[in-house]
Chains A and B, each alone.
Chain A
Amino acid sequence: MRKHRCAVLPLLLLMVLLAALVPRPAGSDPSPRSKQRTLLILDSQKGNPYDEVRRSLLLTLQRYGYHAGENLRVTAHYIGNDVREGERVLREEADKGYHVIFVGGTVATLAAKNVLLGNRSQNVVFASPTDPVGLGVIRDFDSLPAANFTGVCYPVPVKSRLRFVRRLMPQAKVIGLIYAEMPQSVSYNRWLVDLLQKDPEFRGLKVIFRSVPLSRGEYGDDIMAAAARKHVLELDAKVDLFLKPCDQMGTRRSFSETVYKAASKPLIGLVQEDVMGGWGATAAMYPSHDSIGRQAARMVHEIFMGKRSGEIVPEWPKSFGLAFDLQKARRFGIKVPVEMLRLAGRNVVK
């Protein structure tokens, strides 16, 4: 607890600094934003994608005219992928009357659900949970939410991701997917199975699932990756590629490194750093964290402007990116189409 509280101060300083560096957009109308707004940020843990989404959120709010220290008061917490810690923070902060509580990631969203779902007076905006529908905070992405939760989910649509795999490796038949035993994984895996069963486009494609126990804490992803190694070795001869899971393990570095070192098959990553950070993935189709932040900021702005969170339709991420490591692609015999390389733009490791 003590540790988490101490982390609030540097975050506030960072936001003040960013606010000073980013010029205000000319011509913006300050009138609706003259009142003080309060925003509580609760991220599942430190690091990406939460950091990038949060930065995009704040920058976009600035463009809308909300400047930290002026007309916006921001309080931020990390809960270390601990639902209970999240619940505790929320209970402490709930009485302070935040205009919006922003929860980042599946764990934070789950904690918020446990504490705030049904509290119509509290507007909750989530960002980056893998499956908010599965969590039960919204009904779907096509209608207004049933409760006080709205926001932007994280995953790349499963169909797009499988199409991406097909474009890269048209001959691939078996995909290995090792996931952490946590809610978002369950949701994502269900979508994947449904798609393979129902969509003839992907007939003939098979996914072999293996799971590792969820490990929380600062080194949780390392522990999970170490646990996944045996599955990697076991699946290596059976699969044509590994697909990074859409969960806590999938958004971090260790699993990518483990697969790259232990397997002889390529890994299709989940985040940009899987390729550009040199974690070990050969290619990645990732959601734009910036876009998630901007989409969430727009929702926050609307709430600031008077809407209720239940009046805002939840959204998928609106922007995705591609990244390729051509050296690894050559190693695994993958020929990346030119158009995809153009699509990736600068996200190509040569």
Chain B
Amino acid sequence: MLITVSVVFVSLFASSVINVLYFRKNYTAALITGSFGLAHSLNSVVSEMLALGLPLDSFSGMDQRCRDLVEQNQYIVYCCVADLQGRALYHSDPQLIGHIFDDPVMRRSIAATGPVTQMYQRHDGYRYYDMSLPIFDLKRQHLGVIRIGFRADVVQDKVLTAILHVVATFAVSFIAIAVLLNYFLSRAISRPVAELSRKAEKIAAGDYSVEVQVSGNDEIAALSDTFNKMSRTVQQHLDAVRRSEQRFRALIETTSDFVWELDHRFVYTYASPKVKELLGYEPEEVIGKTMFDLMPPAEAEKMAGTYAALTALQQPFAGLENQALHKSGKVVLLETSGVPIRDADGSLLGYRGIDRDITERKRAEELRRAKEIAETANRAKSAFLANMSHEIRTPLNAILGFSQLLANDRSLTGRQREQIETVNRSGEYLLELINDILEISKIEAGRMVLNISDFDLAAMIGDLESMFRLKAQAKRLTLTTELDHMLPRFIRGDEGKLRQIYLNLLGNAVKFTAKGSVSLRVSGRDAGGKLRLVSEVSDTGIGIAPEESGRLFKYFEQTSSGIRSGGGSGLGLAISNQYALMMGGGITVESEPGKGSRFRFEIDVAPGDEKGVERPKQEKVIGIRSGGEHTRILIVDDRAENRDLLKQMLRQVGFETEEADNGITALEAFVRWRPDLVLMDMWMPVLDGYQATARIRELEDGAKTPIIAVTASALDDERQKVLATGVDGFLGKPFRESELFQVIGSVLQIEFAYGEEAALDPDAGNNACALDPEAIAALPADLVSELQRAVARADLDEVLELLDRVESLDKSCAATLRSMARGYRYEALLEALQS
């Protein structure tokens, strides 16, 4: 700093001296030049005067001009115009006008023919710069001289003033520079360094939050910046270490594992608080013990060898299962993992690791394995059921289909028709049984779903009453149904499952009641803003022994009375109960042997909308009304009877058909025959329906040709799988005619012509007259009475057998009555017989 100041001082001083000298020279020159300028100006006036032909001394006011010149130029002291004798013709000092100057300076001025600058020691004692300029007339005749003078000390004064200014400026500049330099140096170096020092002391004291203010971009700023970075880095590292410590402490304290450290002799040097939870010991109790001290003796002996081997390897280990003794004496299964602790030389100091209680996990694993086994078995059962269902439904498709077709055959005798219908009913029963089994399978697999829709509850109750009234009357039972008038007529729920529960309960009630009554009471109650449908089926039947009531809702189990009745599969109540449970309730039973039973259940429903109620068509498709003329349908099925069945069903209403027995032949037929619709069996040899569908979709027109999957699989996931192939419809085997035409109509947008089922019977056209009361009256009275009783019992088999006898007497009348019986129109049938 001293050097800097010295250099600045010397530089300023030297430049000041040079400036003063330069100024003095220039200032003097400027004054002299200025004086000559004034003299020339005066000379030009004199010349103008001489040009007018006037003598040099003849100009009035010249004295005033000389005075003006002196007054107007501060540094000029005198101005004189003199003739060649040295006489002052004009002078700024009036006293000297006419004075003759005879000094050397005047003589040199007069003698000179050009400008002269001289130092003049004037009479007043001062030294002057004297500038003289000769005066010539127009003929260059030398007439006189103009002299102008200024005091030499004017220059000195000016120089002195300039020096003072320079010195003052120098002093001020020096002081200012010194102050500024000091300020900036202090600001730039001293203060930051002191600041750095203070902050360093704070950091040394552990306060890393300090930060040095950085300004500028010099070395100090760089040092401060580096210092700050270092401080921040240290702070960040410390924070990271602190966070890491907190994190690991939190982990150690919150983890369910017991964290430990062992020395090389397997003596605990650290134990986390979790040891209390795992082994019942306080950490302090554990520290100092070996890990083998906490093991059962046999385990300790076994693990000592294991750990000795690990120590020899000095490698991390993980998942080492071993037993430990809880403080309570209980054996705890642990999973131990650890890593070696080494010193700077790499020598093993011990181990650090965790013990995890895997007792529960082991138990859960065993349970999971057992569950997996059970689920495997269940899946096998489901697969078996699915296969069995498929295998059973496939032939049933043919049985039911052809029996339906045969039933339409007009050439059949009544007896043959009854036999066919018996085949059909048997098939229907078998199908129902299969469906029940599948229902159970679905329920057990948790795949059963509710099909919620709006339906007419009152109509359902009315249908049920109609269905069971004849049976009840046949057994001389009183059947009553009560429907709470406060309930809405249309409700929203699973109509099918509710109907199934009622059918089962009412069927059982009629079945197991010999005398008395059977009643169905349906009411509603509000449950927290929701509508609960309360149903009770009561009878005065044989009742249920208390010891048997527990078996009521189990699959394939029947009460002793049920077994004695010789009917049923023992699935009905179980399924009904499952249905009720799905709908928000369960079936409860109150029964007393010999007095009767009361079954009760509650389910969640909601008020329904009449618009959403679907009314099933009871008509039979008899032809194509519009949109389907000359429609070509390709039937693909590996079983000939199924193809034959479909072919007959489709052709009888006017469709054209072609057949294929596997996917390959189906593709060939598709290309060749260009069908409008494909009915595709999904399970086929060579190329199954899935692949065949995909290949057809790749063909020209294949993407826009509808394909309806036809499969015997009744499982929902199978259905989803089929639909995922991109088929346009699904038809499960076995199917009814109505289902077939419904799906075809839906896919092809075809409107079918419907007619009464009996209309297919050629004899049915005369039913109106055949059912004339006289025709009935013409029948034998005992036959009519037997028929009446059979109808009253709803014993369809007996009714159909009796109608065979009628047919021999009146064919058309028998056909009409048979049609009514097959349509379960018992009431109408009974009314006709009674008429």
A191 on the B face (CB < 8 A): no
B44 on the A face (CB < 8 A): yes
Are B48 and A340 within 8 A (Cβ)? yes
A290 on the B face (CB < 8 A): yes
Q: B44, B60, B64: which contacts A291 (Cβ < 8 A)?
A: B60
Are A339 and B45 within 8 A (Cβ)? yes
A347 on the B face (CB < 8 A): yes
Are A345 and B68 within 8 A (Cβ)? yes
Are A318 and B52 within 8 A (Cβ)? no
Given contacts A342-B41, A343-B45, contact A163 B52 (CB under 8 A): yes
Interface residues of B in 493-540 (CB under 8 A from A): none
Are A345 and B64 within 8 A (Cβ)? yes
- Give 24 A-B contacts (CB < 8 Å), ordered by A residue: A157-B53, A157-B54, A160-B52, A160-B54, A163-B53, A288-B60, A319-B58, A319-B59, A319-B60, A320-B52, A320-B54, A320-B58, A320-B60, A337-B48, A339-B44, A340-B48, A342-B41, A342-B65, A343-B59, A344-B61, A345-B64, A346-B61, A346-B64, A347-B61
A216 on the B face (CB < 8 A): no
A339, B46: Cα distance in complex, Å: 9
> Residue of B at shortest CB range from A317?
B58
A167 on the B face (CB < 8 A): yes
A346, B72: Cα distance in complex, Å: 14
Are B48 and A345 within 8 A (Cβ)? no
Are A318 and B58 within 8 A (Cβ)? yes
Count residues on chain A whose CB falls below 8 Å from chain B CBs. 24
Are B57 and A319 within 8 A (Cβ)? yes
Interface centre among A157, A288, A319, A346 (most CB of B within 10 A): A319
A134 on the B face (CB < 8 A): no
Residues of B within 8 A of A288 (CB): 60
Residues of B within 8 A of A318 (CB): 55, 57-58
Residues of A within 8 A of B47 (CB): 339
Are A290 and B60 within 8 A (Cβ)? yes
A164, B48: Cα distance in complex, Å: 10
Residues of A within 8 A of B440 (CB): none
B51 on the A face (CB < 8 A): yes
A317, B55: Cα distance in complex, Å: 10
Residues of B within 8 A of A347 (CB): 61
Place the interface of chain B in its size category: 10 to 19
> Residue of A at shortest CB range from B61?
A345
A229 on the B face (CB < 8 A): no
B49 on the A face (CB < 8 A): yes
Nearest-Cβ distance from residue B27 to partner chain A, whole angstroms:
27
Given contacts A167-B51, A343-B48, could you give 14 more A-B pairs where the C-beta distance is less than 8 Å? A159-B53, A160-B54, A163-B53, A167-B52, A290-B60, A291-B60, A317-B58, A319-B57, A320-B60, A339-B44, A340-B48, A342-B65, A343-B49, A345-B68
Nearest-Cβ distance from residue B582 to partner chain A, whole angstroms:
126
A183 on the B face (CB < 8 A): no
Residues of A within 8 A of B65 (CB): 342, 345
Residues of A within 8 A of B60 (CB): 288, 290-291, 319-321
A319, B61: Cα distance in complex, Å: 9
Residues of B within 8 A of A112 (CB): none
Are B55 and A164 within 8 A (Cβ)? no
A167, B51: Cα distance in complex, Å: 9
Q: A64-106 toward B: CB 8 Å interface, digit per residue (1/0)?
A: 0000000000000000000000000000000000000000000
Residues of A within 8 A of B53 (CB): 157, 159-160, 163
Nearest-Cβ distance from residue B705 to partner chain A, whole angstroms:
117
Residues of A within 8 A of B41 (CB): 342
Residues of A within 8 A of B58 (CB): 291, 317-320
Residues of A within 8 A of B64 (CB): 345-346
The residues of B with any CB-CB pair to A shorter than 8 Å are 41, 44-45, 47-49, 51-55, 57-61, 64-65, 68
Residues of A within 8 A of B45 (CB): 339, 342-343
The residues of A with any CB-CB pair to B shorter than 8 Å are 157, 159-160, 163-164, 167, 285, 288, 290-291, 317-321, 337, 339-340, 342-347
> Residue of B at shortest CB range from A201?
B53
Nearest-Cβ distance from residue A283 to partner chain B, whole angstroms:
12
Q: A290, A319, A342, A346: which contacts B48 (Cβ < 8 A)?
A: A342
A321, B64: Cα distance in complex, Å: 12
Residues of A within 8 A of B61 (CB): 321, 343-347
A347, B48: Cα distance in complex, Å: 16
A163, B48: Cα distance in complex, Å: 11
Nearest-Cβ distance from residue B137 to partner chain A, whole angstroms:
13
A265, B68: Cα distance in complex, Å: 34
> Residue of B at shortest CB range from A289?
B60
Residues of B within 8 A of A321 (CB): 59-61
A343, B47: Cα distance in complex, Å: 10
Residues of B within 8 A of A342 (CB): 41, 44-45, 48, 65
A321, B48: Cα distance in complex, Å: 12
Are A164 and B57 within 8 A (Cβ)? no
Residues of B within 8 A of A320 (CB): 52, 54, 58-60
Q: A163, A317, A319: which contacts B51 (Cβ < 8 A)?
A: A163
Nearest-Cβ distance from residue B266 to partner chain A, whole angstroms:
124
> Residue of A at shortest CB range from B64?
A345
> Residue of B at shortest CB range from A344?
B61
Residues of A within 8 A of B49 (CB): 343
> Residue of B at shortest CB range from A286?
B60
Residues of A within 8 A of B54 (CB): 157, 160, 320
A164, B47: Cα distance in complex, Å: 13
Residues of B within 8 A of A164 (CB): 52
A343, B49: Cα distance in complex, Å: 7
Nearest-Cβ distance from residue A295 to partner chain B, whole angstroms:
11
> Residue of A at shortest CB range from B57?
A318
Residues of A within 8 A of B59 (CB): 319-321, 343
A88, B49: Cα distance in complex, Å: 43
Nearest-Cβ distance from residue A56 to partner chain B, whole angstroms:
11
Nearest-Cβ distance from residue A279 to partner chain B, whole angstroms:
19
Residues of B within 8 A of A291 (CB): 58, 60
Residues of A within 8 A of B57 (CB): 318-319
A288, B45: Cα distance in complex, Å: 17
Residues of B within 8 A of A343 (CB): 45, 48-49, 59, 61
Residues of A within 8 A of B51 (CB): 163, 167
Residues of B within 8 A of A160 (CB): 52-54
> Residue of A at shortest CB range from B48?
A339
A319, B57: Cα distance in complex, Å: 7
Residues of B within 8 A of A346 (CB): 61, 64
Q: Which 6 A-B pairs have the closest CB atoms?
A: A288-B60, A339-B48, A321-B60, A319-B60, A160-B53, A342-B45
A182, B795: Cα distance in complex, Å: 187
Are A285 and B68 within 8 A (Cβ)? no
Residues of A within 8 A of B55 (CB): 318
Nearest-Cβ distance from residue A313 to partner chain B, whole angstroms:
15
Nearest-Cβ distance from residue B76 to partner chain A, whole angstroms:
17
Nearest-Cβ distance from residue B365 to partner chain A, whole angstroms:
126
A318, B90: Cα distance in complex, Å: 13
A290, B60: Cα distance in complex, Å: 9
Nearest-Cβ distance from residue B93 to partner chain A, whole angstroms:
14
A320, B62: Cα distance in complex, Å: 10
A285, B44: Cα distance in complex, Å: 18
Interface centre among A288, A317, A318 (most CB of B within 10 A): A318
A340, B46: Cα distance in complex, Å: 10
Nearest-Cβ distance from residue A301 to partner chain B, whole angstroms:
14
> Residue of B at shortest CB range from A272?
B60
> Residue of A at shortest CB range from B49?
A343
Residues of A within 8 A of B48 (CB): 337, 339-340, 342-343
Nearest-Cβ distance from residue A334 to partner chain B, whole angstroms:
16
Nearest-Cβ distance from residue B87 to partner chain A, whole angstroms:
13
A340, B52: Cα distance in complex, Å: 10
Residues of B within 8 A of A163 (CB): 51-53
> Residue of B at shortest CB range from A25?
B95
A291, B47: Cα distance in complex, Å: 20
Nearest-Cβ distance from residue B98 to partner chain A, whole angstroms:
11
Residues of B within 8 A of A317 (CB): 58
Nearest-Cβ distance from residue B59 to partner chain A, whole angstroms:
6
A319, B64: Cα distance in complex, Å: 13
